[in-house]
Amino acid sequence: MKIVCIGRNYAEHAKELGNATPSEPVFFLKPSTACTYPGHPILLPPIEGEIAYELELVVMIDGYAKDVPVSMALGMVSSFTLGLDLTARTLQNELKAKGLPWEKAKAWDGSAVIGDVELPMTSTTDLQALAIELKKNGGTVQKDTTANMLFNVQTLISYVSRYITLEPGDLLFTGTPAGVGPIAEGDVLEGFINGKRLLHATVGKR
């Protein structure tokens, strides 16, 4: 499996990092070795500088998608949860300044924290009307609605599938709202969808 991550998909977040609002989706990949599964601690990488949380709606792909039309793209989604797209921010800024790929700052072991998958898609699920919230050490640090995505989930799946075939088991991280910030050893991170806690991870010792 692979993880496809969308960047700059909420205008307020693009702004907080000094990026322009994109005219088409921005995406990058994380390998399967990036996953931190439920019940496991976040292990900080051996990278200097800030490591940041980014709470994101994550959808599970349940079919082969190649050039899938927008109108059929949601049929590829079996379930959804929350994830943290952990980012070595200082390093990412250095890479961006040099015009280099972001993988070293984004794709390290453990950098994709996955929540509990308890929310299967039903006929009434609206992926663009979910309240998502991240608490760090009990205090809210990110809070938004998926209605504020610049590109909705079906558009993202269709767009990515023009370039990369999506396969069963792949995960799509759909971008983070504003409020990103650093994590440190001992921090407790909790993610909620519509008030239901689906993600709970502690930052452990390396």
Cβ closest to Mg ion, residue 106 vs residue 135: 106
Q: Identify any residues that bridge with 192 across adjacent strands, giving them in sequence order.
A: 133, 197
Cβ closest to Mg ion, residue 3 vs residue 68: 3
Q: How far apart are CA 64 and CA 40, in angstroms?
A: 29
Q: Whole-number minimum distance, CB 168 to Mg ion, in Å?
A: 23
Q: Whole-number minimum distance, CB 107 to Mg ion, in Å?
A: 12
What is the contact surface with Mg ion in residues (CB under 5 A)?
54, 85, 176
Residue keyed to tokens 């991170």: 189
Q: Whole-number minimum distance, CB 173 to Mg ion, in Å?
A: 6
Cβ closest to Mg ion, residue 49 vs residue 75: 49
Closest-approach residue to Mg ion (CB): 85
Cβ closest to Mg ion, residue 72 vs residue 147: 147
Q: Whole-number minimum distance, CB 113 to Mg ion, in Å?
A: 12
Q: Whole-number minimum distance, CB 119 to Mg ion, in Å?
A: 20
